[in-house]
Amino acid sequence: MTGAHHARFDHVGVNVRDLAAATAWYSEAFGLRTYFEFTLAGPGLSAVVLENIEHGWRIELLARTGSAAGLRAANPLEAALTEGYGHFAVNVPELDPVYEALLAHGAGEVMKPGPSPQPGYRFAWVSDPEGNLIELIENTEAQ
């Protein structure tokens, strides 16, 4: 694949049941703004791309008429028993206050902050209101 080593990550897509509710939650919980939105009337698909302006990461929330719940693992180990995408992760400057703020904002408590398998890092896990897993990562060596 010529040039593949120049690829830059653009966004992660999360299929949701309630697009309006998910858009509001992610916008408020992570301070994201709407970057782009679209609807494809034929297949009944609607989407909103949200972005973190300061750090340049984006998440695309997609909803399609007639969708059904898929993997709703209780934690990352359970998610790893099903092949496919299991979570997305964000770096945070301070893990504990971000974790507590997300819980206060309605995130599900999955795994309390603690040491990561990667030396020099701490991590925690939450779920969004629809049960999608989110990993929070803090680099303790950068402080």
pTM flag (> 0.85):
yes
State the pLDDT confidence band at 86, using cuts at 50, 70 and 90.
Answer: confident
Sheet holding 108-115, edge to edge: 87-91, 133-139, 121-127, 108-115
Residue type, 67: S
Containing structural domain, residue 13: 1-68
Q: Give one DSSP letter per residue of 90-110, joined into a string.
A: EE-S-HHHHHHHHHHTTPEEE
112 and 137 share one domain: yes
The CATH number for 112's domain is: 3.10.180.10
- CA 106/CA 29 separation, integer angstroms: 9
Question: Where is the domain boundary, 21, 50, 68?
Answer: 68
State the pLDDT confidence band at 143, using cuts at 50, 70 and 90.
Answer: low
State the pLDDT confidence band at 2, using cuts at 50, 70 and 90.
Answer: low
Residue pLDDT, tens place only, 131-141: 999 999 999 98
pLDDT higher than 60, residue 1 = no
* Count of structural domains within the chain: 2
Among residues 72, 97, 100, the alpha carbon closest in space to that of 87 is found at 72
DSSP letter assigned to residue 6: G
63 and 80 share one domain: no
Range 87-102 average pLDDT: 94
Range 47-58 average pLDDT: 94
Question: Where is the domain boundary, 47, 68, 89?
Answer: 68
99 and 52 share one domain: no
- CA 140/CA 98 separation, integer angstroms: 14
pLDDT at 42 (0 to 100): 93
